[in-house]
Amino acid sequence: MTSDLFTLVSIGAIQLMAVISPGPSFLITARTAVAQSRADGLKVALGLGAGTAVWSAAALLGLNAVFHALPVLFMVMKAAGALFLLYIAWMILRHASEPLRIDGQSERLANPLLKGFLTQISNPKVAVFFGSIFIAMLPPGVPPWMTPALIFIVSFNEVWWYSAVALFFGSDPVRAFYLRAKVWIDRITGLFLGALGLRLLWTAREAL
């Protein structure tokens, strides 16, 4: 029991470090909060948590074995994630020079909850974590109680961290700064996401 609890805490801590590392989830949450509202940023965070619940459940049900048996599945998933990132990048760049209307209706790329969920589901970094590190850290025989506990912990980590990001970037001083520098912030964000999407497409192509 003690070793199982240690494993639970260890996986939760390592996954939290992976969550905190900057990536598309961070950029999308921060931009949604500052460009739309804190509430929409929080919805993105909830969507990310829901996506994490799906990935962790899939890993516990044998995701790693599926990727080894059907490597083309991982390649397809990576390509789909790359295309989704490219779509978001294009929409951000397209509207970069347009004045921001703080009315909750401008620049919606998707329902915030759905946007967060799709971002997480299509994120290859998340798939790699749950398909390798997460699986490797599990004990040989996972106790029945540990499965729901693990799913809750990793999903909660995702939600609380990105909720904090949304609350910070949705604050008035940060929003005021964004309004002054919107064009360049959006262009840099769009180029970063676009470059990441192209890189993922290239690695997916190499796997063919």
DSSP per residue over 118-135, as a string?
HHHHT-HHHHHIIIIIHH
Burial 113-124 (b: 16+ CB within 10 A, else e): bebbbbbbbbbb
Tens-binned pLDDT, residue by residue, of the chain (208 aa) = 677 788 888 888 888 887 887 678 888 898 889 888 899 999 999 999 999 999 988 888 776 566 667 677 667 766 776 777 787 788 778 877 776 554 444 444 468 999 899 889 888 778 777 876 677 677 666 677 888 899 999 999 999 999 999 999 888 888 788 777 778 877 887 888 788 778 767 766 655 5
pLDDT of residue 206: 58
Distances, alpha carbon 42 to alpha carbons 10, 38, 39, 155, in Å: 26, 6, 5, 14
Q: What is the pLDDT of residue 81?
A: 65
What pLDDT is recorded for position 147? 84
| Separation between Cα atoms, residue 41 and residue 115, nearest integer Å | 10
| Contact call for residues 11 and 134 (beta carbons, < 8 A) | yes
What the block records as the tokens of 24 is 């598309």
Enumerate residues 6+ apart whose C-beta is below 8 A from 113.
43, 44, 46, 47, 50
Residue 158 has what pLDDT? 94
> What was the pLDDT predicted at 21?
72
